[in-house]
Amino acid sequence: GAVVSQHPSWVICKSGTSVKIECRSLDFQATTMFWYRQFPKQSLMLMATSNEGSKATYEQGVEKDKFLINHASLTLSTLTVTSAHPEDSSFYICSADPGLAGGRLAEQFFGPGTRLTVL
């Protein structure tokens, strides 16, 4: 149980294009989903927190107009990197929190990540 998937697992795009990454909780409903970015040999940095049906909360320094987050249902959140540039190349990881329904507070289950390369 508690499986989180991401799609695609990797993507290469040209500078200036937009890329959408999907995050799905496969066997549970997630009240909250999180998006992280990880550069090589670095830690995970939280980008934003999204709750189903409401606007995402972005961390300081993260451009909300560049990284669009949609949490349309309790099992799906999407991150769209708009007008991507080479500096946006990174490993993007989502996580999902089942909330109290999962029986344990604050436990996050992570997806396998999406490697984005912007040429």
Partner 1 sequence: GENVEQHPSTLSVQEGDSAVIKCTYSDSASNYFPWYKQELGKGPQLIIDIRSNVGEKKDQRIAVTLNKTAKHFSLHITETQPEDSAVYFCAVLTGGGNKLTFGTGTQLKVEL
Q: How far is CA 52 from CA 31, 33, 49, 97, 103, in A?
A: 6, 8, 10, 11, 19
Q: Is position 106 an interface residue for partner 1 (rule: CB under 8 A)?
A: yes
Q: Assess 111 for contact with partner 1 (CB under 8 A).
A: yes
- Alpha-carbon Rg for the chain in angstroms: 14
x/- track of binding to partner 1 for residues 71-100 (CB under 8 A): ----------------------x---x---
Stretch that binds partner 1, among 13-21, 41-49, 66-74, 81-89 (CB under 8 A): 41-49
Cα–Cα distances in angstroms (integers) from residue 15 to residues 2, 47, 91, 117, in the given order? 35, 21, 17, 10
Which one of the spans 11-19, 39-47, 61-69, 71-79 is the region binding partner 1 (CB under 8 A)? 39-47
